[in-house]
């Protein structure tokens, strides 16, 4: 595939698409801010399907409004739902979804089956599968 690990500033300056798919932590809160956005290519497209806290939305609005990056797709925002008077909604180069990135039939079926399995396991004293412990 030709994938290569690069420093974050190099990623910002070279990537056509920046897709956030990571946990939200104190270390990455607001990682996409004015500084990060200013390093991105003018044709860069930012997609966030993780957590709204990763993106400083005021800085994103300014970058999109001034054409500093091409566009953004947000499945998550802070807060959720985003108030209808938020300026991001006025931009033609920003698509905002109501946190439905996982709303496919297959994903919802798998989520339901996992919840059912874990509920039964929890009630019968068995180990709960796919348990994630927050740091």
The pLDDT confidence band at residue 3, using thresholds 50, 70 and 90, is confident
Q: Does 99 qualify as catalytic in the annotation?
A: yes
CA-to-CA distance for 123 and 120, rounded, in angstroms?
Answer: 5
CATH homologous superfamily for the domain 8-101: NAD(P)-binding Rossmann-like Domain (3.40.50.720)
Whether the pLDDT of residue 135 is over 60: the answer is no
Q: What's the pLDDT tens digit per position in 88-117?
A: 999 999 999 988 877 788 888 888 898 899
CB 12 within 8 A of CB 31: no
Residues 41, 45, 99, 118: which is the catalytic one? 99
Tokens encoding 28 = 């990455």
The pLDDT confidence band at residue 67, using thresholds 50, 70 and 90, is very high
User: What average pLDDT is seen over the chain?
Assistant: 93
Distances (CA, A) of 79 to 17, 53, 134: 24, 9, 21
Whether the pLDDT of residue 122 is over 80: the answer is yes
Instruction: Give me the residue label for tokens 């690069």.
Output: 6
Tokens encoding 87 = 């300026």
Average pLDDT over residues 65-86: 97
Domain boundaries, the chain: 8-101, 102-135
């Amino acid at each position: 595939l030709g994938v290569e690990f690069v420093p974050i500033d190099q990623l910002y300056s070279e990537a056509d698409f920046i897709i956030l798919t990571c946990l939200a932590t104190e270390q990455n809160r607001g990682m996409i801010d004015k500084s990060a956005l200013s390093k991105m290519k003018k044709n860069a497209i930012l997609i966030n399907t993780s957590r709204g806290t990763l993106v400083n939305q005021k800085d994103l609005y300014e970058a999109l409004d001034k054409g500093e990056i091409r566009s953004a797709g947000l499945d998550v925002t802070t807060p959720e739902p985003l108030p209808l008077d938020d300026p991001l909604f006025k931009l033609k180069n920003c698509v905002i979804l109501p946190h439905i990135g996982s709303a496919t039939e297959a994903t919802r079926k798998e989520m339901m089956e996992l919840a059912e399995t874990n509920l039964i396991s929890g009630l019968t004293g068995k180990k709960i599968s796919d348990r994630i412990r927050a740091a």
